[in-house]
Amino acid sequence: MSSQSSGLRHWRQRFSALFQDHEIFIRTHGHVRFLRISAVWQKRVALIAGSVLLVWAGITLAVFVNQLLTSGERAEVAAKQAAAAAAEARIAHYRDRVGEIAADLDERQAQLEEWQKDYFGKEALPAAAPSDANAEAGAKPAAKPLETSAIDPRLPPEAQTLARLEARQEAFSARLLAAVTARAAKAETAVAQLGLDPSSLVRNAATGRGGPFIPFRGRKGQAGALGKSFAALEGALFRMEVLERTLVAIPSGQPAHVLMLSSSYGYRSDPFTGAGAMHAGLDFPGPLGTPILAAAPGRVVFVGQKSGYGNVVEVDHGQGILTRYAHLSGFTTQVGTQVTAGQQIAKMGSTGRSTGSHLHFEVRLNGVAVNPRRFLEAKADVLEVKDDARQRVGALAANRGAR
């Protein structure tokens, strides 16, 4: 206890030693003044200065501590504001995406309805086949978010309504594709039986396309924006239309009502020289003036004379198919006329390099003469498919003309 007292007394003595009485003499203009600064007054001034310094330090410390305590709150508020801004941006993006997807789905729906109306009219499409798993279970599949080609999986659950709509469209597209594929297969079989190559016909038809590039209005401006299933459907429709139009263009009608041929297609002895020669068509003998009939619907592209053929009429049936009628005695049509199968276009004669009244009938495919006999002698099942195709192509032309 005595040691503590002595220690305190020591520090008080040292503190008191800092403050001593001071006397200051000030001389001004010959006058001397005496200024005394006592130790007590010095201690009071030091105490006041120390108190002020202590208060300033306390205030500074309090401000620092307050900044430390509120910095976390400010950071939290800033984070909440950033999250709110990000949420607003996402909501705006979702609205834009949903609106864009809805517009694309409307575009897809319009295209589906147009294809169905153009190619099938009121004809019922085949029902969609149920999946094996559902057929075996005999129950509805468990509900789960749909994943389709147009719906962004990051969109909110409300967008699932659009996903269900797209799923229905894709199911309808699959049914339409099945119907188109079946029709194309029938036309392909009939074309092949007539001796033509279906793949070559489709390939040649695909080369004759063009026009300025106008990007599709839908997502990302891609030409395939309607989806892979729609792209497959478009390709199948193109193939079916080429094959059916080819069937319609094939000249299977008799070009003249006569009962016999005087010369077939291929090798023969030339009627004037007797030398071996190539005969590019069929010769139908008959009385002078016998009506000459268009073997298939088409447009008259030539009426006049050709060397060796005499008077000639040529009819373009589309798909690269052209028929030539030669040695005519007269014409009953003119260039540019649209003719139907069986319509009279000329009269039989013996003009040009001819030994008597007859019709020389040629069929040319992409400018090359082919044997007309395989078309004129087509089997009943092929003619049935052709008749069906003629009705469909006619309906398609009517629907497009109405628009």
pLDDT band per the 50, 70, 90 thresholds, residue 350: very high
pLDDT band per the 50, 70, 90 thresholds, residue 27: confident
Structure tokens at 152: 């962004």
C-alpha 77/C-alpha 189 separation (Å) is 74
Residue 262 or 17, more confident = 262
pLDDT digits 0-9 by tens, 314-323: 999 988 899 9
CA-wise closest residue to 328 among 317, 312, 316: 312
Q: What is the pTM of this model?
A: 0.59
C-alpha 228/C-alpha 62 separation (Å) is 69
Instruction: Give CA separation, 48 vs 19, 22, 54, 61, in Å.
Output: 15, 19, 10, 20
pLDDT digits 0-9 by tens, 275-314: 878 888 999 999 999 999 999 999 999 999 999 999 999 9
pLDDT score, position 18:
73
Average pLDDT over residues 210-220: 50
pLDDT digits 0-9 by tens, 107-152: 777 777 777 777 777 666 666 554 443 433 343 443 444 445 555 5
Give the position of tokens 């200065």: 49
pLDDT band per the 50, 70, 90 thresholds, residue 226: low
Q: Would the pLDDT of 34 be above 60?
A: yes
pLDDT score, position 270:
75
Q: Using alpha carbons only, what angle is made at residue 124 by residues 141 and 202, rounded to the nearest 5 degrees?
A: 100
Q: Residue 340, exposed/middle/buried by CB under 10 A (0-12, 13-18, 19+)? A: exposed
Q: Which of 162-176, 177-191, 294-308, 389-403 has the lowest mean pLDDT?
A: 389-403
C-alpha 328/C-alpha 336 separation (Å) is 19
Q: Would the pLDDT of 48 be above 60?
A: yes
Residue 8 or 314, more confident = 314
pLDDT band per the 50, 70, 90 thresholds, residue 402: low
Q: Would the pLDDT of 96 be above 90?
A: no
pLDDT score, position 134:
40
What's the first-to-final CA gap in the chain, in angstroms? 117
Quick check: 310 and 326 in contact, CB under 8 A?
yes
pLDDT score, position 135:
37
